[in-house]
Amino acid sequence: MYSAKYLSTGTGKAIRLLSLALGLSPFCLRAQQTDKSALRLTDAGYLYKPGLNVFVFNSHYGLFGDEKLAGIELIHHEVRTATNGDVRLDATPEQWDSIPQFIRRETDKPTNTVRAWLRYPAFNFDYAIEVKPEAEGVVIRVLLDKALPAALAGRAGFNLEFLPSAYFSKTYIADGKAGVFPLYPTSHMALSNGRTAPMPLAQGNRLVLAPEDAHRRVRIESQTPLQLYDGRNKAQNGWFVVRSLLPAGKTGTVLEWHVTANTQAGWTRPPVVAHSQVGYHPDQQKIAAIELDKNSKALANATLLRIEDNGTITQKYTAPVQRWGNYLRYQYYTFNFSSVKDTGVYIIQYGTTQTKPFRIDKQVYQTAWHATQDIFMPEQMDHVTVKEAYRIWHGASHLDDALQAPTNLVHFDLYAQGPTTDTRFKPLEHIPGLNVGGWYDAGDFDIRTQTVYGTVTDLVHAWELFHPMRDETLVDQTIRYVELHRPDGKPDMLQQIEHGTLQLLAQFNAVGHAINGIVEAHLEEYTHLGDAVTKTDNLIYKPTLGPHQTEGAFSGRPDDRWAFTNRSTALNYGSIAALAAASRALKGYNDTLAAQCLQKAVEVWEEEQTHPPHVFNHGNTTGGPLPDERMQAALELRIATGKQKYADTLAAHFAEIAQQFNRRARLCIQALPYLDAAYHVRVKELVTNYKQQVLDKMSTQNPYGVPVTGGGWAGSGAVINFGLTNYYLHRAFPDIIGAEAVYKSLHYLYGTHPGSDISLVSAVGTESKKVAYGNNRANFTFIAGGIVPGVLIIPPDFPENKEDWPFLWGENEYVVGLGASYILLVNAVNQLLHTSTP
């Protein structure tokens, strides 16, 4: 009981004391600060007021079904806190559960109303969803022309999913009964018809989420009962779900929710001062991008502060900020401090916003690639045990590789097998020899051949250009053992090249051609999180054994990965390009393997010239564009063998390659030494046009000077490729392409990007990605040196890279190919900075 004396000191003080005693922020009790203005429909097609946006099917379900980027979504004080507002057939849907087919969407600006039409074809079930503003929020209606199909009664419901990390350790109140959002899933589960399903955390007709938090408080009211679920009981990437079942036997408006999301009057998003968390070389341009809420008023100046070794902070440089303009949903200004060249530790201050410390130093990028080569690349190595000090990253996984994939099969992860196997093996027969080399493609555990050969090729180019002798890792292929932080007298880059090459050669030796890849057969293995050695029993499947029987190296458990093996000439060319390149790098290191690589590359090239190309296209697993792959193979073979016939192929197809020069510029530049003077003239014309049409226009497209891509996968890869393209162009034509065009890509990766200023390379930079979609993502942690896809532009204009929720693969999933290309880019930048001036 609170003493009466606390109420005798005046109403204002009493409220403050009471709020503190309850653990609430004082502003939570000040209703007059709430923004009561109504939402309005913007020209961009979503409902808006300061502090709250409501997207209504501005995005649709994606390539992998439920990606948490569809339906009705809430952007609450500039955080996307809710998604997937739609009719679903499960209380807590998982990624591959049923999703509806989107039909169309309409907006009505006079009434600020958005409607979307969808259907479930398998049930002949059509419905519409209508969203329009009311009071401080929106009303959501589900509309049916025909009553709910009997098969969906008690199953179909309207769901809205809330981001767990936005509500961790906050409370909820359902019809006056309070609870706490659990940090870890611990709610009850029920067993029905052999399946488990979560029980509701709470239910009622009025549900308030985070009543104590003015920035996250949401109220939902409905005459149809509301139920709150924890989706993480079924899958670690699940969200908190609010759900109402659709009633049977009704038409018209069958369900109505009134949703209010609290907003603070006068609220504006704090400024973001986007800069390089790694820092800058003294001779580089140093330009920070200041990102402001559309309703903020810009300050006149920004200041560069210098931190001395005794802790004192002094003003080093102050200058007016320059307006860049509007981009996406924000306004942008730039702060140019390029004139500061003194080595030291600095902070940028803009009003009350201060960045984390960063360096200006000539050696600023010297070690920036080490974490990627020392930690991330070896951690991703398949078929070996990887140890770091006291930690085992994973055991020697997938020693049971691999079973021939069944025919006429479309896999759930972009792989497919056609009507034949294109091998001597029958479906589900073991293919020997594939259990060697290769890397986990991404945050999952498949071996994607296109990734493997791209990684090998980029590492070879890094080796040949820069010859990095760094040795921090022990690799022993004979005992399948890798240990980090333990030098073994061999360059780590060559050991990584060797590891990828072993898998590529194994494919040719096993089936005679490159294969699409090797991937988990079943969802329960594909969704596995943790040590990959526990995904399978590591024993080769033998169908004559019982499911729990073992016999030496065999078992009756069909948990082996499947090899997808249809012939693709594009994959063959990409693989032999990597083998030809690797043959050069491996000479003097592993001469036997080097000779095998070149011999196989020449053999496969000759075989491919005897017939029309084999074309097999599915997903992103069957090779790049055939002209690109053919020319890369010809180039690498020309360099490896010195034979003119490969240069003749380059010349014969140059016009075809040059048609898309912006995408193929690296290849064109690499081919220049093997083409005659006329081609050199033509390439120079193309480079000049590239500068005018791409580089000169890039600075008007966004404040960062690099391509910021849309789509379901964010653009770090495009940014790295842009930097590498500009590096090769600058080396060949420094009078046309300046070095700064290369540096901007690193600045972007290190924090000069939309949405935040975090480095997209884990453990690189003062503030970097610490929660990412690696194979350890369930632990909400990172893998040092991994590069995430980065800032995803959620249609139509919201940049997002969540730093507290790892499970959005399009933003946060590491990909091994980016590791190799990033290593190449950082070494390229180091070379430029130490051999030339911008």
pLDDT surpassing 50 at residue 16: no
- 543-579: pLDDT as tens digits: 999 999 999 999 999 999 999 999 999 999 999 999 9
pLDDT surpassing 80 at residue 73: yes
Where does the pLDDT of residue 720 fall: very low under 50, low under 70, confident under 90, or very high at 90 and above?
very high
| Nearest CA among 525, 686, 710 for reference residue 58 | 710
- From CA 95, how far away is CA 237, in angstroms rounded? 9
Segment 67-75 long-range contacts (CB within 8 Å, at least 24 positions apart): 67/95, 67/712, 67/808, 67/809, 67/810, 68/161, 68/237, 68/239, 68/807, 68/808, 69/712, 69/794, 69/808, 69/810, 70/99, 72/129, 72/131, 72/140, 72/160, 73/794, 74/218, 74/261, 75/798
Write the CA distances from 519 to 129, 269, 453, 506, 821, integer angstroms: 38, 43, 17, 16, 23
pLDDT surpassing 60 at residue 484: yes
Question: What count of Cα atoms within 13 Å lies in the side-chain half-sphere of residue 27?
Answer: 13
Question: Could you give all domains of the chain from N- to C-terminal order, each with its CATH number?
Answer: 1-31 (no CATH), 34-261 (2.70.98), 273-360 (2.60.40.10), 375-652 (1.50.10.10)
Read off the pTM.
Answer: 0.94
As a whole number, the mean pLDDT across the chain is: 93
pLDDT surpassing 60 at residue 830: yes
Residue 623, judged by CB atoms within 10 A of its CB (0-12, 13-18, 19+), counts as buried
- 464-476: pLDDT as tens digits: 999 999 999 999 9
- 740-777: pLDDT as tens digits: 999 999 999 999 999 999 999 999 999 999 999 999 99
| Nearest CA among 551, 509, 518, 550 for reference residue 403 | 518
Residue pair 687/732 in contact (Cβ under 8 Å)? The answer is: yes
- From CA 279, how far away is CA 224, in angstroms rounded? 55
Please give the torsion angle defined by the CA atoms of residues 423, 426, 432 and 433, in that order, rounded to the nearest 10 degrees: 30
Where does the pLDDT of residue 2 fall: very low under 50, low under 70, confident under 90, or very high at 90 and above?
very low
Where does the pLDDT of residue 15 fall: very low under 50, low under 70, confident under 90, or very high at 90 and above?
very low
- 180-210: pLDDT as tens digits: 999 999 989 998 777 888 999 999 999 999 9
Q: Are strands 40-41 and 47-49 parallel, antiparallel or unpaired?
A: antiparallel
As a residue count, the chain comes to 838
pLDDT surpassing 90 at residue 660: no
At 33 the pLDDT is: 61
pLDDT surpassing 50 at residue 31: no
pLDDT surpassing 50 at residue 361: yes
pLDDT surpassing 60 at residue 27: no
- From CA 243, how far away is CA 224, in angstroms rounded? 10
Contacts of 705 (CB under 8 A, 6+ apart): 698, 699, 741, 744
Please give the torsion angle defined by the CA atoms of residues 106, 108, 111 and 117, in that order, rounded to the nearest 10 degrees: -10
Mean pLDDT along residues 682-701? 94
- From CA 602, how far away is CA 625, in angstroms rounded? 21
Where does the pLDDT of residue 637 fall: very low under 50, low under 70, confident under 90, or very high at 90 and above?
very high
At 433 the pLDDT is: 98
